Amino acid sequence: MNFWKYFYGFWALVFVLFAYWQFNDPDPEIWVSIYAVAFIFCLRGIKGIFPKYPLTIVVVACVIGAIYYWPDSVPSWISQEIEQGDLTMKTPEMEEGRESFGLLIISLVMLPGLIKAWKK
């Protein structure tokens, strides 16, 4: 197996866990769906299938979403998370910071596949 199969296999498992953890979110239908889409694209990536236009839409939408939800202060958000010590949401800013970074992770994971798709 090559590196990309392991890469997308690892992230498929991570996105399944991310989706599972969203069930206690205030808006789980949105975030479980987002992580399920990322999971599906990772499964396709394991097989070396990178659909150019759908993948482009996903990456662009995730980057726009990450910018939209970007926390005012990343160091402040991270220090709040560390001080809290658990994964419960205490403030809307914490939730938006998490959502922003989740979308950023999806876009970064999908980027190599998108580059491969556009090179073909």
pLDDT, residue 86, reads: 66
Residue (of 17, 11, 8) closest to 87 by Cα position: 17
pLDDT, residue 75, reads: 75
Contact yes or no for 42/19 (Cβ under 8 A): no
Note the pLDDT tens digit of each residue in 61-105. Answer: 999 999 998 877 777 767 777 777 766 666 777 778 888 899 999
pLDDT, residue 24, reads: 81
pLDDT, residue 41, reads: 97
Contact yes or no for 99/33 (Cβ under 8 A): no
CA 102 vs. chain centroid, Å, equals 4
Note the pLDDT tens digit of each residue in 9-68. Answer: 999 999 999 999 888 888 889 999 999 999 999 999 999 999 999 999 999 999 999 999
* CA 115 – CA 34 distance, rounded (Å): 21
What CA–CA distances, in Å, run from 119 to 25, 59, 113, 115, 116? Answer: 38, 16, 10, 6, 5
Residue scoring higher pLDDT (57 or 1): 57
Q: With 60 as the cut, is the pLDDT of residue 1 above it? A: no
Contact yes or no for 111/117 (Cβ under 8 A): no
pLDDT, residue 84, reads: 76
